[in-house]
Amino acid sequence: MTRPLSATIDIGAMRHNFSVVRQCVPNAKAWAVVKADAYGHGLANAVKAFSDADGLALIEIDKAIALRENGYNKPILLLEGFFKAEELPDLAAHDISFAVANDHQMAALENANLKTPVNVHLKMNSGMNRLGYQPHEYKKAYARLKAIPWVKSVAFMTHFANSETPNHPKVPVTEQLRRFNGATEGLTGIRNLSNSAAILLHPDIKTDWVRPGIMLYGGTPGGKSAEAFGLKPAMSFDSEIIQIQHIKKGESVGYGSLFTASENMTIGVVACGYADGYPRVAPEGTPIAVNGIKTRLVGRVSMDMLTVDLTGIPGAHIGSKVNLWGNDIPIEEVANAAGTVGYELMCAVNSRPTHLVKE
């Protein structure tokens, strides 16, 4: 017998979500971003679901090589590039494209003496202030890449910091685009720009390739709910009630006795905790569904269990179905309550729950 906790991955929903990308930006090619084991959905599932994508983008070099060795023959892009010079011959041999974002990577590539040409995406720091060359450094970096005999092509790449927020007061998309366009003026190469939020909220951005991530898995990058964007949840995190407690007004629940009943209540104990990937910081009131009826989390989330209010759910019993997020509860509602983002919740689900696949 297994513990009644499962994460079900819906490949059909992932396919649908990729179709939304095509609807938004029909003239751009699309990298399906599959880093972090496809945001916790499984790389093998993602390869199957995103078979219509023009390529896959990730950061894990070993996973990229494994994709090639398992027969994936479309373009592959390493979003953070390589980390050590000795990785370059393998990337070249497996026809894996990669970002170059700094002089350390640049010098390693210049000195690599590769036998097989490579495709490079030159990263610009247009305002995110993570990876990439500053706009005023970009043309010089481009010239260095173009002078390397084993560099076959150079694409232009940046990442938007606030594409989910219209007219962001610090770094709006329009300002990043202004910097990007100015730095690439007169240069020849494809543009690799939009993330999920830019695809959904700024589909008019001129780009040759887009990089959808969170939207492929049915999460929202912000601006509206996933459902409002026409996206379907690709992960359903489900459990069951394993114990019922009837408590009186004034009694408390869980570690720290943080929740105290203001009336007589029925409490359900659910087989899921922070060791399974549910956020320990989720507060009282975080939405959860029992038998398809929306209710709330009460008490502190513990390692293996959490507790919910069953007072308004007639017929709830041991074995009643619980949806933590997915089919009945949008993942962003749980994330918002816990002060985080759906990305983190997806990636946090670990190997303890049973993993199922729905074709």
pLDDT digits (tens, 9 = 90+) for 149-163: 999 999 999 999 999
pLDDT at 74: 98
Q: Please, what is the average pLDDT of the chain?
A: 97
Q: Does residue 1 surpass a pLDDT of 70?
A: no
Q: Does residue 197 surpass a pLDDT of 60?
A: yes
Cα–Cα distance for residue pair 210/30, rounded to 1 Å:
5
Cα–Cα distance for residue pair 53/229, rounded to 1 Å:
20
- Residue 135 phi, psi dihedral angles, 5° rounding: -55, -40
**Per-position b or e across 129-151, b if 16+ CB within 10 A of its CB:** eebbbebeebeebbebbeebebb
Q: What are the residues facing 118 on neighbouring strands?
A: 151
Q: What is the mean pLDDT of residues 201-212?
A: 98
Q: What are the residues facing 235 on neighbouring strands?
A: 9
Cβ atoms of 53 and 74 within 8 Å: the answer is: yes
Tokens of 255: 């570690």
Q: Does residue 336 surpass a pLDDT of 60?
A: yes
Q: Which helix (H) or strand (E) holds 191?
A: strand 191-192
Angle at the Cα of 157 from the Cα atoms of 152 and 158, rounded to 5 degrees: 160
Q: Does residue 209 surpass a pLDDT of 80?
A: yes
First-to-last CA distance in the chain? Answer: 24
Cα–Cα distance for residue pair 216/237, rounded to 1 Å:
17
Q: Does residue 343 surpass a pLDDT of 70?
A: yes
Q: Output the furthest CA–CA distance in the chain (Å, rounded).
A: 77
- Hey, what CATH topology would domain 11-217 get? TIM Barrel (3.20.20)
What is the CATH number that goes with domain 235-358?
A: 2.40.37.10
Q: Does residue 333 surpass a pLDDT of 70?
A: yes
Catalytic positions: 35, 255
Q: What is the mean pLDDT of residues 200-220?
A: 98
Percent of the chain residues past pLDDT 70, beyond the cut: 100
Cβ atoms of 205 and 198 within 8 Å: the answer is: yes
- Residue 23 phi, psi dihedral angles, 5° rounding: -65, -40
Length of the chain: 359
CA 260 to chain centroid, in Å, comes to 36
pLDDT at 2: 86
What global pTM score does this model have? Answer: 0.97
Domain ranges of the chain: 11-217, 235-358
SS3 284: coil
Which is nearest to 93 in space by CA: 164, 172, 150?
A: 150
